[in-house]
Amino acid sequence: MTIPADLKYTKEHEWVRIEGEKATFGVSDHAQEALGDIVFVELPEVGRPLEAGEAYAVVESVKAVSDVFAPVSGVVIEVNGALEDAPELVNSDCYGAGWIAKVQIAEGSVELLSDHKYSTFLEE
């Protein structure tokens, strides 16, 4: 189970990388492992405003459909189009090539956990 130290996490098993006014979203290693083989990702539209905690994408594995929630509020500025043809990138590289969306950050956030706190949360 990988939990990179430079990211923040949510209790819904998303990660967020905050760089100035921009943030990148994805799902954690724990999430992709629990979901199993991901065969479809429904991406948000660029320009869509997101509230923190809002379901903004859907990942579907062989057996399950799961919402993905925005860790912070913002407007979608870019989505990972590669996932349309290669949804398995979420399994193989969830913190890298398997990122889902980038937003221009606005005010508002769900509770964000450091890598240590997320690790503790997973153990509980």
Partner 1 sequence: MSDLAKTALFDEHLLLQGKMVPFAGFAMPVQYKNGALKEYTFVREGGAGLFDITHMGQARVTGPDALAFLQYVSTNDVSKLEEGQVQYSALLNDAGSFIDDITSYKISDREFYLCINAANRHKDVAHLLTQAEAFDVVFTDESDDTTLLALQGAAAQAALQPLVDGDLESIAYYKFAQVKVCGVDGIISRTGYTGEDGFEIYIPNSSAIATWKQLLANGAEAIGLAARDMLRTEMGYALYGHEISDAVTPVEAKLMWITKLDKGDFIGSEAVQARRISGAHKRLIALKLTARGIPREHYKVFVDGVESGEVTSGMHSPMAGGVALAYVKPEHAELGELAVEIRGKLVAAERTTLPFVRSNVRR
Would you tell me which residues interact with partner 1 (CB under 8 A)?
A: 36-37, 39-40, 42, 58, 60, 62-63, 65, 84, 88
- Residue number, 60 or 115, with CB nearest to partner 1: 60
Token pair, residue 67, equals 């919402």
- Rounded least distance, CB 67 to partner 1, Å: 9
Nearer to partner 1, 35 or 72 (CB): 35
Q: Which is nearer to partner 1, 4 or 36 (CB)?
A: 36
Minimum Å gap between C-beta 20 and partner 1 is 33
